[in-house]
Chain A
Amino acid sequence: MSKRINNALKCIPVYLWLIVFTVVPLLMVFFYAIFEVKDDGGIRFTLDFLKDAVTNGQYLDAMLRSLEYALISTLVCLVLGYPLAYILAHMEERKRNFISVLFLLPMWMNFLIRTYALSSLINEQGVITKFLQWLGVIEGSITGTEAAIVIGMVYNFLPFMILPVYTSMLKIDNRLIEAARDLGSNSFIVFKKIILPLSLPGVISGITMVFVPCITTFVIPQLLNNKVWTIGSLIEFQINGNANSAGGVNNTAAAISFILMIIVFICMSIFSKFDSDGAENGGLM
């Protein structure tokens, strides 16, 4: 009995943290999405903010655009990151450790600074812009285009795709690959039936780690293309410039955030459904 109490006591800091920094803020977002705080301090229940968030054309546009950028960026990260992770996992150990540090190195720098750095490479005077102009691939600057946003997202979040995929590939026992070859598989079948299904958990967590920050980021669009509204920049704008409720609380931002959370949640459950299907049926033709 006392042991149980003891164990429960040990967990208190964790619970406290979760309550203060996750549960309460989430409830507050939900609360402000459906309650308006009046000037006299009283509160009023209303679904107007939520209704506005899902019917306002500007918000819907931003939402769809963000979803599009996030999906494209995640796909690009997957297409680039998966082969890179595969190559990395099959290098000899010393080389592999060195190169994975190189991949991690930019992560040690602040996200904002990295994005500023990228911006200076692809704005009108940027080296990359000049080079591409010289090649005749583009006219004008890269910043300010939709591609700039995707480039920014891929540049910032690619390591988050590579690392989990790389880790899951490292965990694949080489003897399984030998067993498959022994049973008659050529390299393609080994990849399809062993490496791909066994690296899928890494792919799923990679997708999660890229998709969620992509769909919510406002820094990247702001620095690389401030002409388009994404859902992140919209929320930021609402909070910083447009308090529509007493006490500096922005009900619209809360409502949009709430809807965004639901969308992310739905996307994540689709992804993880795909994963558990893979784990069960990975071997089926």
Chain B
Amino acid sequence: MSHHIIDLFNITKSYGDTEVIKDLTLYIRKNEFITLLGPSGCGKTTTLRIISGFEKPDSGRVLFDGVDITDLPPHKRKVNTVFQKYSLFPHMNIYENIAFGLRIKKLPEEEIREKVRNVLELVELSGFQRRMPDSLSGGQQQRIAIARAIVNEPEVLLLDEPLGALDLKLRKEMQVELKALQQKTGITFIYVTHDQEEALTMSDTIVVMNNGVIQQIGVPTDIYNEPTNAFVAQFIGDSNLLSGVMIKDCLCEFSGKQFKCVDTGFDKEEDVDIVIRPEDIKIVAPDDGMLRGKVISALFKGVHYEMIVEASDGFKWKVHSTQITPPDTEVGMNIEPFDIQIMKIPFNTLTGWIMRDNKVDIGNTVLDYSLSSGNRAATEFEYEETVDVYVLPQDIEVIQKPKPQTNGKGKISVQVNEAEVDLPNVFDGEVETFKYKGDDFEIQVKCGDISLLVHTYTKVSIGEKIKLRIPADKIKIKKREEISEFVEEN
């Protein structure tokens, strides 16, 4: 493996009560094009700002070339940033903008002139020295911003969604240019984006992040073909996501049928997530297929057709093919064993504080936890010690609030089952997202500051207020130091 230029060790960062980065450890190799990819609020920009020095981690270390730079201010770091909105200095012309960093290094004027000319040539804007930033188009301003950063010959260039403000066509052109520029200059690029296509096009390595946690690190083809969990599978490309059960090695069950697959190493009868890419499903005659369904729509997408096939169990399959199968056709569908991606269901990872009597505070509610699942007693922790709390989505129970019922006179009577509400470990939430996965439903429930992923057979609707119960014996508590071992175990 080549040399690490940047190492991040156990970085955590919170704003108020919101934990933006949770124990992130990552290394970046010299000369690679690495992309931090994830939805907004996943912590990717904060990670970048920790590398550039604009944010200080609450805990953890940042190493540059093996040297600890955690406490070094931004202007002393050998990294430069290309900002999202260009951030060119409006009161300086292009020459002065690009020369800014060189002036601080007190380079002789002649050398500065030479370097500015060369870098302008590199970004194909020769002769723009005397122009003012506001007379340039968005694409030109972005190139100047890149030129202003790379003219300082940084060892690492940080790019914070640099193409976000450009239109699609220009963005595609700039993607190619940026990649070529990276190869030509040999500078390590750390690129932040929420655009999965951009990440797949340009990167040597992709780091997929969600909720402040790294979901997967890998080369683009691996991220696409072998997503490690349902989040990555859905975030990168189109996919059919189902709930399934691993019967034994190389045999799984979903949509009420058993399928051969190539995955091993799961527990017997373990609940899993299953992802099948739309292009990996072959449409065949109804009686020849492993699954049967009816085409309900067919759309031309430029290169391929996208068919939606409703299976007999009601799951709507997305199928990509170069040939169209018209709507209302009964079809069969075949899937090759190696096209079935089987993934462990990820834990909900929460931050908690230990309370007395084997209770843990997870921010807006206090839960009992059981010692039978291998947890330590509260007495073995310090009072209010910060711990990580793990709960599997399928272990959380949904209790639907009874709907208000109107009687004949228009009066509303609400029936509440007091017994259920008074159970321990019950708390309120609101359904944010709702998805059918062939067998059960996957819902995202917002409970105060935290958001939980829940697998349930109960049908709920978005915005519905529900109650959740986490059984005490399904809660796993880990001391902060034990996290790394624990993650490896899983």
Residues on A facing B (Cβ under 8 Å): 173, 175-176, 178-186, 189, 193-194, 197-198, 279, 282-285
Known contacts A178-B54, A179-B81, A284-B96; decide if A184 and B91 are in contact (CB<8 Å).
no
A-B contact pairs, 18 of them (CB 8 A): A179-B83, A179-B89, A181-B74, A181-B75, A182-B80, A182-B149, A183-B80, A184-B152, A185-B104, A193-B100, A194-B89, A198-B91, A282-B91, A282-B92, A283-B91, A283-B92, A283-B96, A284-B96
Least Cβ–Cβ distance between A246 and chain B, in angstroms: 56
- List residues of chain A with CB within 8 A of the CB of B81: 178-179, 182
User: When the two chains form their complex, are residues B90 and A184 in contact, meaning their CB atoms are under 8 A apart?
Assistant: no
- List residues of chain A with CB within 8 A of the CB of B52: 182
| Number of chain B interface residues as a range | 20 to 34
A174 nearest in chain B by CB position: B87
Residue in B52, B79, B83, B91 whose Cβ sees the most chain A Cβ within 10 Å:
B91
B83 nearest in chain A by CB position: A175
Encode B56-94 as 1/0 by CB contact (under 8 A) with A: 000000000000000001110001110101011111110
A284 nearest in chain B by CB position: B96
How far does the alpha carbon of A180 sit from the alpha carbon of B152 in the complex, in Å?
13
Residue in A181, A182, A283, A284 whose Cβ sees the most chain B Cβ within 10 Å:
A182
B97 nearest in chain A by CB position: A283
How far does the alpha carbon of A284 sit from the alpha carbon of B93 in the complex, in Å?
10
Least Cβ–Cβ distance between B144 and chain A, in angstroms: 12
User: In the complex, which residues 89-117 of chain B have their Cβ closer than 8 Å to any Cβ of chain A?
Assistant: 89-93, 96-97, 100-101, 103-105
- List residues of chain B with CB within 8 A of the CB of A180: 89, 100
How far does the alpha carbon of A282 sit from the alpha carbon of B93 in the complex, in Å?
10
Least Cβ–Cβ distance between B146 and chain A, in angstroms: 12
Q: Ordered nearest first, which 5 A-B pairs have the shortest CB separation?
A: A283-B92, A283-B96, A183-B101, A179-B87, A175-B87
- List residues of chain B with CB within 8 A of the CB of A186: 75
User: When the two chains form their complex, are residues A185 and B83 in contact, meaning their CB atoms are under 8 A apart?
Assistant: no
User: When the two chains form their complex, are residues B87 and A283 in contact, meaning their CB atoms are under 8 A apart?
Assistant: no
Least Cβ–Cβ distance between B204 and chain A, in angstroms: 24
User: When the two chains form their complex, are residues A283 and B152 in contact, meaning their CB atoms are under 8 A apart?
Assistant: no
User: When the two chains form their complex, are residues A185 and B75 in contact, meaning their CB atoms are under 8 A apart?
Assistant: yes
B93 nearest in chain A by CB position: A283
Least Cβ–Cβ distance between A281 and chain B, in angstroms: 9
B467: interface (CB < 8 Å): no
User: When the two chains form their complex, are residues A176 and B96 in contact, meaning their CB atoms are under 8 A apart?
Assistant: no
How far does the alpha carbon of A185 sit from the alpha carbon of B53 in the complex, in Å?
13
User: In the complex, which residues 213-241 of chain B have their Cβ closer than 8 Å to any Cβ of chain A?
Assistant: none
Q: Which of B85, B97, B104 contacts A184 (CB 8 A)?
A: B104
Residue in B75, B80, B90 whose Cβ sees the most chain A Cβ within 10 Å:
B75
Least Cβ–Cβ distance between A199 and chain B, in angstroms: 11
B318: interface (CB < 8 Å): no
Least Cβ–Cβ distance between A93 and chain B, in angstroms: 15
A278 nearest in chain B by CB position: B91
A201 nearest in chain B by CB position: B91
- List residues of chain A with CB within 8 A of the CB of B92: 282-283
A200 nearest in chain B by CB position: B91
Known contacts A178-B54, A283-B96, A285-B103; decide if A183 and B91 are in contact (CB<8 Å).
no
Least Cβ–Cβ distance between A169 and chain B, in angstroms: 14
- List residues of chain B with CB within 8 A of the CB of A194: 89
- List residues of chain B with CB within 8 A of the CB of A283: 89, 91-93, 96-97, 100
- List residues of chain B with CB within 8 A of the CB of A185: 75, 100, 104
Known contacts A175-B83, A181-B74, A182-B81; decide if A189 and B104 are in contact (CB<8 Å).
yes
How far does the alpha carbon of A18 sit from the alpha carbon of B165 in the complex, in Å?
44
How far does the alpha carbon of A182 sit from the alpha carbon of B78 in the complex, in Å?
9
A194 nearest in chain B by CB position: B89
Least Cβ–Cβ distance between B47 and chain A, in angstroms: 16
Residue in A178, A198, A282, A284 whose Cβ sees the most chain B Cβ within 10 Å:
A178
User: When the two chains form their complex, are residues B101 and A173 in contact, meaning their CB atoms are under 8 A apart?
Assistant: no
How far does the alpha carbon of A121 sit from the alpha carbon of B100 in the complex, in Å?
51
Known contacts A181-B75, A183-B148, A185-B75; decide if A197 and B91 are in contact (CB<8 Å).
yes
- List residues of chain B with CB within 8 A of the CB of A279: 91
User: When the two chains form their complex, are residues A175 and B80 in contact, meaning their CB atoms are under 8 A apart?
Assistant: no
- List residues of chain A with CB within 8 A of the CB of B54: 178, 181-182
Known pairs A181-B73, A189-B104, A283-B91 / 10 extra A-B pairs, C-beta < 8 Å: A175-B85, A176-B90, A178-B83, A180-B100, A181-B75, A183-B148, A198-B90, A282-B91, A283-B96, A283-B97
User: In the complex, which residues 401-437 of chain B have their Cβ closer than 8 Å to any Cβ of chain A?
Assistant: none
Encode B260-288 as 1/0 by CB contact (under 8 A) with A: 00000000000000000000000000000
User: When the two chains form their complex, are residues A176 and B89 in contact, meaning their CB atoms are under 8 A apart?
Assistant: yes
How far does the alpha carbon of A243 sit from the alpha carbon of B41 in the complex, in Å?
75
Least Cβ–Cβ distance between A150 and chain B, in angstroms: 33
User: When the two chains form their complex, are residues A183 and B100 in contact, meaning their CB atoms are under 8 A apart?
Assistant: yes
- List residues of chain A with CB within 8 A of the CB of B89: 176, 179-180, 193-194, 283
A198 nearest in chain B by CB position: B91
- List residues of chain A with CB within 8 A of the CB of B85: 175
How far does the alpha carbon of A179 sit from the alpha carbon of B149 in the complex, in Å?
9
- List residues of chain A with CB within 8 A of the CB of B79: 182
Least Cβ–Cβ distance between B36 and chain A, in angstroms: 18
User: When the two chains form their complex, are residues B96 and A173 in contact, meaning their CB atoms are under 8 A apart?
Assistant: no
User: When the two chains form their complex, are residues A183 and B152 in contact, meaning their CB atoms are under 8 A apart?
Assistant: yes
How far does the alpha carbon of A198 sit from the alpha carbon of B91 in the complex, in Å?
7
Least Cβ–Cβ distance between B464 and chain A, in angstroms: 36
- List residues of chain A with CB within 8 A of the CB of B148: 183
Least Cβ–Cβ distance between B300 and chain A, in angstroms: 42
